[in-house]
Structure 1
Amino acid sequence: MTDTPTPGETLEVAPGILWARLALPFRLNHVNVYFIADDDGWAIVDTGISNPETRAAWQALLDGPLAGERFTRLIVTHHHPDHIGNAGWLCEKLGIELQTSAGSYLSFMTLALAPAARESDPYTRFYARHGMPPEGAKLVSTLGHGYLRMISTPPASYRRLRQGMELRIGGRDFRVLTGDGHSLEQVMLYAPSDNLFLAADQVIERISPNVSVFASEPNADPLGDYLASLDQICATVPEDALVLSGHHRPFRGLHRRRTELAQHHVERCDVVADACAIEPKSVNDLVSVLFSVKLDAHETSFAFSEALAHVNYMVEQGRLNWIEEGDRLKLARA
């Protein structure tokens, strides 16, 4: 598929499935949202960030191609603000229920109730302990996390979606799949009758989704979780399914894409291992090893957290060892 929807436009990507795009103020400059025919209305999948521009874009859709339509529910795939940011606003405006995983809803509530948590001293010390200069640690923990504030007030309640449950939307039965790594308990939907897979950000056509470790769980292994999730997805969803992702275009070739994503992370781990074999490196040192482009504070926070995800995965595998140098940590090849 070569066409993409323009602002205020929807495209039908499968019978009863509409695709729209909302702009994002980042290097990844858009997020996809979908509408699934649901009896006498439409189920919405994902929301965009909460800012005036995105709400204006929603209003253009509601006044334009979706004018006069009824909406039945809001399904949110995961808690990142580009997917859940407008959930409270849309649920209130349209009088619909939020449906998502427990992990997504509780993470959303945490962002809403403690918006300044990532600017606190423990987060700043977390970056500094891994080699980031004090001014950089402060910048990343404030401006770098500003994206996480782009959310509306969450709905007071939700309906939980669980791994393995069947979700009937209109004339289709969707199997709910959940996966970790990119986010906690990310929701994906597979319709066997149509060979249709809404993959959220777990599998994307041209980019590798961010896999990050944060100060709240510094020893987590999200990369291990992510790679395991790819295997589980491909054990359920066929290679020739139509994949509708949270970014970029619909595509077919799910298993091939899984192999490409897994190989990408193998190569990144090899780069880390080679760098740490020359001399011990901090996680902050590894950011420039893995990312050659100039990064702003927002991008640096993601790059650092992804570098640490590869490090934790390799420590878990026994390929790297932590070395303490005073109050700093470095890594050496095992």
Structure 2
Amino acid sequence: MALQQRGDPVSGLTFPFEAKPGPGEAIEVAPGVLWARLPLPFSLDHINIWLVEDGDGWAVVDTGLRGHNTEALWQQLFTGPMAGRPVTKVVVTHLHPDHVGQAGWLCRHFGAPLWMTREEFLTARLLCLDVRDEPPPEAVDFYRRAGFTDTMMQTYMARGFGSFAQGVTDLPLGHCRLNDGGTIEIGGKAWEVVVGRGHSPEHASLWCAELGLLISGDQVLPRISSNVSVNLSDPEGDPLTDWLDSLELIARRVPDDVMVLPSHNEPFYGLHHRLTRLAIGHQRRLDTIIEALEAPRHAVDLLGPMFRRPLEGHDLILALGEGLAHLHCLRQRGMIARDEGADGIHYWRRLVAARDAA
């Protein structure tokens, strides 16, 4: 789930393109680099994909959600902007279905290799295999301990378990590994891999110093903030600290004057300003939690102060994951503690006064 930042997330940024590519169209953003868009059936209704000239063909970065409509739009791109030239590499920034969904199909269609970081590839392969009629007991316990009501649990149970595979075509058995700090050559130019964590296990952004471009995936978005969640695969993890550390790492490694090519919204300038604003947005949410813990509360009870809008269905699941990420971050900082009640439900309490946390 993409979450709006408080205040104006766009101030301090420059957007060099007024137009956006339509279905089956592409806009050149730099020599040999095309911007195309594929639709998504969510409130966030699109994903950007990047086509980079690579010898006699094209390397593609991210692939869209599995579906006949997505395939049809790829076919338009093949015969239109890509001029019938083949795909030479399929590069995926991270495992989420809107990014990896059509990767297997593209790899098979062109006989092209799949490039991903190892954690992203292996996690995607695992999730594609884990499909069940109903959530397993540890999943039920995870949400019940967070404070889900009986009604919330009934809705969750009715969803089934393992919907990931529905959005992803069959992946290849193997992959070419992207390593943090390593490079992948595309069209005779070196693109450095910059790994970030928190939104996904080992998210790869690609920085080309020669072209002055950063393909940022979901790691840096100009108008929205990527979801950072605690989930079932790492229920005691601290992904928000990982995320904040990654923002600092990107600021140290990638210069501010690059054009950022994000997975959602539009290309922009102002990388370092945006990294700062993203960190400030999360700090404000941490402050909100401290203020709301005037008495011990369940994680679910804190979603109202954090998000200030009704939440249900998939949005509720994502919001809870994000809420837990902020709680775990505060616990790691020694500012709050978690207790378990006689009913097995977790309660969170603050260890410092709100004024001392500011």
TM-score by length of 1: 0.96
2:32 paired with 1:32: no
Do structure 1's residue 47 and structure 2's residue 63 form an aligned pair? yes
Alignment partner of 1:270 is 2:287: yes
C-alpha displacement of 1:118:
8.0
Contact persistence 2:47–2:98 (CA under 8 A): yes
State whether residues 260 and 267 of structure 2, in contact with CA within 8 Å, keep that contact through their aligned partners in structure 1: yes
1:258-312 deviation per Cα after TM superposition (whole angstroms, max 9, x unaligned): 1100000000000011101x22111111122211223341111111100000000
Task: Give the structure 2 partner of residue 253 of structure 1.
Answer: 270
Partner Cα distance (2:345, 2:190) in 1: 52
1:321 equivalent among 331, 334, 337: 337
Answer yes or no: is the 8 Å Cα contact 2:37–2:47 preserved in 1. yes
Between the aligned partners of 1:144 and 1:201, the Cα distance in structure 2 is 27
Cα distance in 1 between the residues matched to 2:157 and 2:254: 38
Distance 1:17 1:176 in 2: 17
Higher relative contact order (CA 8 A, sep 6+): 2
Corresponding residue of 1:172: 189
The offset of 1:144, in angstroms, is 8.8
Counterpart amino acid of residue 141 in structure 2: R
CA 1:324/1:232 → structure 2, altered by over 3 Å: closer, same or farther? same
Q: What is the match of residue 119 of structure 2?
A: 103
Secondary structure of the corresponding residue to residue 26 of structure 1: coil
- Partners of 2:158 and 2:171 lie apart in 1 by 22
Secondary structure of the 2:220 match is: coil
Whether 1:121 and 2:132 are equivalent positions in the alignment is: no
Whole-Å Cα distance in 1 between the matches of residues 105 and 136 of structure 2? Answer: 28
Query: Partner residue of 1:93?
Result: 109
Between the aligned partners of 1:221 and 1:288, the Cα distance in structure 2 is 21
Unpaired segments ≥5 residues, structure 2: 1-16, 352-358
- The answer on 1:136 being equivalent to 2:173 is no
TM-score normalized with structure 2 length: 0.89
167-176 vs 110-119, which moves further: 110-119
Cα shift at 1:67: 3.8
Unaligned runs of 5+ in 1: none
| Residue type at the aligned position of 2:330 | M
Seen in structure 2, the aligned counterparts of structure 1 residues 73 and 138 have a Cα distance that, compared at 3 Å, is: farther
Cα distance in 1 for residues equivalent to 2:320 and 2:175: 33
For 2:175, the equivalent position in structure 1 comes to 158
Change (3 A) 1:291 1:143: farther
1:39/1:61 CA distance change after superposition, 3 Å: same
Deviation at 1:141, TM superposition (A): 5.8
| 1:116-145 superposed Cα distances (whole Å, 9 cap, x missing partner) | 398222111100111011331343366397
User: What aligned pairs does 1:146-225 form with structure 2 within 5 A after superposition?
Assistant: 148-149=164-165, 150-225=167-242
C-alpha separation in 1, matches of 2:150 and 2:98: 29
Tell me how far apart the structure 2 counterparts of residues 124 and 246 of structure 1 sit (CA, whole Å): 32
2:316 equivalent to 1:300? yes
* Alignment: residue pair count: 333
Q: What letter corresponds to residue 112 of structure 2 in structure 1?
A: I
CA 1:147–1:27: 2 relative to 1, 3 Å: farther
Identical-residue share of aligned pairs (%): 39
SS at match of 2:224: coil
Aligned-partner residue type, residue 119 of structure 1: P
> Could you tell which deviates more after superposition, 252-261 or 145-154?
145-154
RMSD, aligned α-carbons: 1.6
Asked whether the equivalents of residues 94 and 200 of structure 2 are also in contact (C-alpha less than 8 Å), the reply is yes
Q: In the aligned structure 2, how far is the partner of 1:144 from the partner of 1:332?
A: 33
Letter in 2 for 1:110: L
**8 Å Cα contact 2:135/2:160 also seen in 1:** no
